[in-house]
Amino acid sequence: MLHRPVNVITVEREYGSHGGEFAHDLAAHLGWRLLDSELVTGAARIAGVDPRLAAKLDERLDPWYYRYGKIFYQEPMYVTSTGEEHLFDSERMLELIRQEILDAATQGNCVLVGRGSACALAGRHGCFHIFVYATASAKKDWFARAFPDRAQHAEQDLKEFDRRRAAVIRKFYQQEWCSRGLYHLLLNSCIGTDAMIAAVQCAAGLCAPVPESVPR
């Protein structure tokens, strides 16, 4: 049950489901702020590191050898550009992104894409959480068009990308990324963007009220 009007929507998505594109269209339709890759560049800005480094760490765990030897391991690419003692790694980036998510939710009227936003805002009033998926054939068709040179590896690459996303959420939030209990609405993107937006508006209580019929 939603206890107050929804002003924050999170969109988690399977790789190849067009969930990111849907989130962009939804934010534009509602006239709300969109925070997708902006969360990553924002974390880089706060940490004082090159945004390209942050992009490489996006929705990925640090290498196992780095995690196990983190106290002693000092690979230059992980050190902040300001030369501070703190390292910038995926865990640090997720901490910064989580704070950005919480700040954005406080301001409201925003659509947040992935990066554990549904977990960070779980149980918070005014937030509505969506998971976008697609059929295996639809995702393979998209992959073949997007990466024709790797079309024969579509199934493997699609699964690997989602495994990485799931591993990040499991490690940082101790939650299962695709657990239905995290979300208010699961959407198959094969129904099309317009139908998805209409479904979200109605489910989240954002539909325009229907005028009462004039008595005759």
Which pLDDT score is estimated for 47?
A: 85
d(CA 112, CA 74): 33
In a domain? residue 209: no
Q: Measuring CA to CA, which residue among 183, 179, 162, 167 is closest to residue 10?
A: 183
Per-residue pLDDT of the chain (216 residues; tens, 9 = 90+): 456 799 999 999 999 999 999 999 999 999 999 999 899 999 889 888 888 888 888 777 644 334 444 444 444 444 444 444 357 787 888 889 999 999 999 999 999 999 999 999 998 999 999 999 999 999 999 999 999 999 999 999 999 999 988 998 998 899 998 899 999 999 999 999 999 999 999 999 998 655 555 455
Report the CATH number that the domain containing residue 153 is assigned in CATH: 3.40.50.300
In a domain? residue 212: no
In a domain? residue 2: no
Using DSSP, state whether 87 is helix, strand or coil: strand
Which pLDDT score is estimated for 54?
A: 83
In a domain? residue 166: yes
Which pLDDT score is estimated for 2?
A: 54
pTM over 0.85: no
In a domain? residue 210: no
**Angle in degrees, CA 79, 64, 42, rounded to 5:** 40
In a domain? residue 26: yes
In a domain? residue 154: yes
In a domain? residue 214: no
Check if the beta carbon of residue 2 is closer than 8 Å to that of residue 79.
no
Q: Measuring CA to CA, which residue among 213, 161, 180, 181 is closest to residue 20?
A: 161
State how many domains the chain has.
1
112: containing domain: 8-203
> What is the 8-class DSSP label of residue 79?
B
For 51-70, letters b (16+ CB in 10 Å) and e give eebbeebbbebbeeebeeee
